[in-house]
């Protein structure tokens, strides 16, 4: 029997869901990212984001702790049309709920590095045994514990260019592989959903293949220590280039048979100015999308290295730089490959299609790498018991949180976007109910209910809604 109380309950549920961000978690299937609900391939179209550089992370602030600055920058992310950002350093003892909710509401995902320049928060590439410690692992696990509760956390980077020369190649690889295993075990035990772990590599011919293969390989003694994805930092397309003259054809060949998703974790070149971002068209073309899953432009904020799209003054006001408008136009023209595009591409690219079955066991030697160093097992207790940190949670977004008090100026110095707000594009609505209900029941039938990729509040609410379905309220 349908009662007024049950109807009021339904309206209350829908109101709550409208007020909170809802964004589909991204999964890995084969060597591509996939939207867990639409089942369409997910191609990364984004940028690297670390305002002020890593040194701006401390006990009081980091890039995702100030809602006003987040609103300011997320409005600009939406202007660029991106779907993903990468953040290099965060403090898990700060609150990131508002900024992560705002990103989710804007339809934007996060790749998060688990390291920072601060003491006990990174691996020393030349003496990793001196920094691979319980305090370091606690920092890593706290970030995982906090950010695994946000649906728009796309993945974690275990390191960025840790192996970048001959010396680091003789010391760091086993520690990187051990760290990947630690992170994946912690996620398997404590995260409400699977979240992939990967590595961001310097594009050096000495290590391009060997390090990728070592981090990909399957260790019979540890089923967790292979990366789930692989990021490549590439700066080789400079000025007027083609797919062949840039060397992108060789990059594709290098990773064609890789069994994991591969993407540009950093890309761009400022040796020829102004930047034209011609590589973007190539990145999402049929020549690349069977192998590469998009990429992240380096970088949003102007720093001393002159790669920025925007510049900020001492008061936090933003001025757009010429590269912002250029990238906006280029990203606006991108055709994101569909499932049909990808299927057709893989039918022609048989090597890429078969790559998912080419996963290999680890061998005793990899070119230019030292992999025989024994890494102490320091993580077991924390993996078993967990770490204490406030878990992330989506929050209600009031109108004032979606607006910023900072000013934004165009290249000529004219104030723009005055009074604008973050556009909420990802909210739960009734059109998703049937799809979610079907998927949830399918997962129950397959015995995978505990891994359903949705935050606890949405799971609970869906359960209530399904009860109302049974009483024909919906």
DSSP 9: H
Q: Which residue has the tokens 């930092």?
A: 233
Structure token digits, residue 170 = 């003789």
The packing angle between helices 456-470 and 4-19, to 10°, is 150
The answer to whether residue 161 is catalytic is yes
Looking at 161, 216, 279, 299, which residue is catalytic?
161
Looking at 145, 266, 279, 299, which residue is catalytic?
266
Q: Are 263 and 44 in contact (CB under 8 A)?
A: yes
User: Residue 118 and residue 147: Cα distance in Å, rounded?
Assistant: 19
User: Residue 31 and residue 42: Cα distance in Å, rounded?
Assistant: 11
The pair phi, psi for residue 297, each rounded to 5°, is -70, 135
- For residue 134, the SS3 value is helix
User: Residue 158 and residue 176: Cα distance in Å, rounded?
Assistant: 7
> Which residues have CB under 8 Å from 8's CB, separation 6+?
none
The answer to whether residue 39 is catalytic is no
Q: Nearest CA to 167 among 365, 366, 370?
A: 370
DSSP 239-260: SS--TTTTTHHHHHHHHTT-SS
> Which residues have CB under 8 Å from 400's CB, separation 6+?
none
- Please give the distance of CA 315 from its chain centroid, rounded to a whole number: 29
Residues with a catalytic annotation lie at 161, 266
């Amino acid at each position: 029997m349908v009662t007024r109380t049950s109807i009021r309950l339904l309206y209350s549920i829908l109101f709550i869901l409208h007020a909170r961000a809802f964004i589909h978690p991204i999964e890995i299937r084969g060597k591509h990212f996939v939207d867990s609900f639409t089942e369409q391939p997910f191609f990364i179209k984004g940028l690297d984001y670390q305002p002020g550089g890593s040194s701006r992370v401390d006990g009081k602030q980091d890039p995702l702790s100030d809602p006003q600055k987040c609103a300011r920058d997320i409005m600009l992310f939406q202007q660029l049309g991106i779907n993903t950002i990468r953040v290099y350093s965060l403090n898990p003892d700060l609150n990131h709920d508002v900024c992560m909710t705002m990103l989710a509401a804007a339809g934007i995902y996060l790749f998060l590095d688990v390291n920072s320049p601060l003491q006990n928060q990174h691996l020393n590439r030349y003496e990793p045994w001196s920094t691979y410690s319980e305090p370091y692992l606690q920092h890593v696990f706290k970030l995982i514990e906090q950010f695994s509760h946000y649906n728009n956390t796309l993945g974690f980077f275990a390191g960025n260019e840790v192996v970048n020369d001959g010396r680091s190649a003789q010391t760091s690889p086993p520690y990187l592989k051990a760290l990947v295993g630690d992170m994946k075990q912690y996620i398997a035990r404590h995260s409400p959903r699977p979240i992939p772990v990967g590595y961001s590599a310097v594009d050096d011919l000495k290590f391009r293949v060997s390090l990728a293969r070592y981090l990909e390989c399957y260790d019979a003694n540890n089923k967790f220590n292979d990366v789930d994805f692989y990021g490549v930092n590439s700066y080789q397309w400079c000025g007027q280039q083609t797919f062949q003259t840039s060397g992108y054809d060789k990059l594709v060949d290098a990773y064609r048979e890789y069994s994991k998703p591969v993407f540009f974790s950093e890309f761009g070149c400022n040796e020829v100015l102004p930047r034209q971002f011609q590589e973007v068209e190539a990145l999402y073309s049929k020549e690349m999308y069977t192998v590469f899953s998009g990429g992240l432009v380096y970088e949003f904020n102007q720093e001393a290295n002159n790669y920025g799209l925007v510049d900020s003054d001492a008061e936090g006001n933003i001025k757009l730089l010429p590269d912002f408008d250029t990238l906006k136009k280029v990203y606006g023209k991108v055709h994101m490959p569909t499932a049909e595009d990808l299927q057709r591409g893989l039918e022609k690219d048989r090597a890429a299609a078969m790559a998912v079955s080419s996963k290999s066991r680890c061998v005793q030697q990899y070119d230019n790498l030292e992999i025989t160093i024994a890494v102490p097992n320091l993580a077991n207790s924390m993996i078993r018991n967990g770490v204490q940190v406030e878990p992330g949670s989506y929050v209600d977004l009031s109108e004032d949180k979606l607006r910023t008090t900072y000013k934004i100026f165009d290249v000529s110095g004219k104030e723009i976007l005055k009074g604008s707000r973050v556009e909420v594009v990802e909210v739960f609505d009734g059109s998703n109910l049937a799809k979610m209900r079907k998927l949830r029941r399918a997962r129950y039938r397959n015995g995978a209910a505990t891994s359903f990729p949705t935050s606890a509040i949405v799971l609970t609410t869906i359960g209530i809604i399904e009860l109302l379905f049974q009483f024909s309220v919906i």
